[in-house]
Copies of this chain bind each other. A is one copy, B any other.
Amino acid sequence: MSSDNKRRAFFISDGTGITAGSLGGLLAHFPDTEFEQIRIPFTDSHQKIEDAQKRIVNAKLINGIRPIVIMSIGNNILRSELKQVDAYYIDLFESFIYPLGEELNQEPLTRPGVAHSMKGANYGNRIEAINFALGHDDGMTHNGLNQAHVILVGVSRSGKTPTSIYLAMQFGIKAANYPLIPEDFERGTIPPILEGYMDKIFGLTIQANRLSSLRSERRPDSHYASLENCKDEIKKAERLMQKLGVPIADSTSRSVEELSAIIIQHINKN
């Protein structure tokens, strides 16, 4: 009971709860309220509705204020049953899905798990892209580079790997990534294997302080992590990318979501 002053936000779904849960992003618009987010997936029976109700009632007892409930439940009976206890409900079926059905002139599917099943659009592509990103991480292999939608380059720890994986997982975009290393700077070109793919290359850069701190987590007190070496590598990498006309985004204060959105815009333009 250590978190009594946190407003509870439940995400209750008859499926994975991912669509409902993604609306958790909206809570970030209210930084003065501290939320405790609780996900209750697979709520597809009377028993499970009752269990969820108990947790809602209990949250109000503990916290003294009714919780927020963001819900996606297709079955009409279960849906109204849940809402019999006091809470602030955001009901995706009532607010969105039924009104959208009127616009489309179509009855919605109401069975559980429609949105995030394997049958969903793009699922196979996304899994394939994850395998591609893992197989083409850190310049691991050159095979199949022609299949890449984008090839991220940048100094070690500039954010290439998590960004590649996010692009794959979320959008099914095949992203390879290559480190830029001192050899490349001396030669003054990108890794030769990439020369045939100039139009796919996207650069990441980062501020030296931040890079030094990230590298120190991995290898404390090393030349690799020293501020001086980070400054030097970054300067040379940026100069190289600029010379070659490679588009660059700075990862210092951008999340992988923000970097990915920028990269996708670039891909779409090309």
A97 to B23: give the CA distance in the assembly, Å.
10
Q: Using a CB-CB cutoff of 8 Å, which residues 1-36 of chain A contact chain B?
A: 7, 15-19, 22-23, 25-26, 28-33
Q: Mark A144-171, 1 if CB is under 8 A from B, else 0.
A: 0000000000000000011001100110
Specify which chain B residues have a CB less than 8 angstroms from the CB of A193 in the assembled complex.
none
A270 contacts the other chain (Cβ, under 8 Å)?
Answer: no
A39 contacts the other chain (Cβ, under 8 Å)?
Answer: yes
A62 contacts the other chain (Cβ, under 8 Å)?
Answer: no
A242 contacts the other chain (Cβ, under 8 Å)?
Answer: no
A106 to B133: give the CA distance in the assembly, Å.
42
Specify which chain B residues have a CB less than 8 angstroms from the CB of A134 in the assembled complex.
134, 137, 161
A223 to B23: give the CA distance in the assembly, Å.
46
Complex partner residue of A19 from B22, B31, B106, B115, CB under 8 angstroms: B22
Specify which chain B residues have a CB less than 8 angstroms from the CB of A33 in the assembled complex.
104, 106
**Interface stretch (choices A173-181, A200-208, A224-232, A259-267):** A259-267
A107 to B103: give the CA distance in the assembly, Å.
31
Complex partner residue of A26 from B28, B96, B106, CB under 8 angstroms: B96
A41 to B32: give the CA distance in the assembly, Å.
26
Q: Assuming A90-B96, A118-B255, A255-B120, is B19 touching A25 (CB within 8 A)? A: yes
Specify which chain B residues have a CB less than 8 angstroms from the CB of A113 in the assembled complex.
258
- Asked if B29 and A254 sit within 8 Å, CB to CB, the answer is no
Specify which chain B residues have a CB less than 8 angstroms from the CB of A101 in the assembled complex.
29-30
Q: Mark A103-136, 1 if CB is under 8 A from B, else 0.
A: 1101011100111111011010001001100100
A143 contacts the other chain (Cβ, under 8 Å)?
Answer: no
A66 → B minimal CB distance (Å): 9
A265 to B264: give the CA distance in the assembly, Å.
33
Specify which chain B residues have a CB less than 8 angstroms from the CB of A264 in the assembled complex.
39, 41
A185 contacts the other chain (Cβ, under 8 Å)?
Answer: no
Q: Mark A229-270, 1 if CB is under 8 A from B, else 0.
A: 000000000000000000000000111111011101100000
A264 to B37: give the CA distance in the assembly, Å.
14
- Asked if B165 and A130 sit within 8 Å, CB to CB, the answer is yes
Specify which chain B residues have a CB less than 8 angstroms from the CB of A17 in the assembled complex.
261
A133 → B minimal CB distance (Å): 9
Nearest B residue (CB) for A74? B29
Q: Which 10 pairs, one residue from A and one from B, show the smallest C-beta to C-beta distance?
A: A22-B22, A25-B115, A116-B257, A29-B108, A19-B25, A16-B261, A41-B261, A88-B103, A118-B255, A28-B115
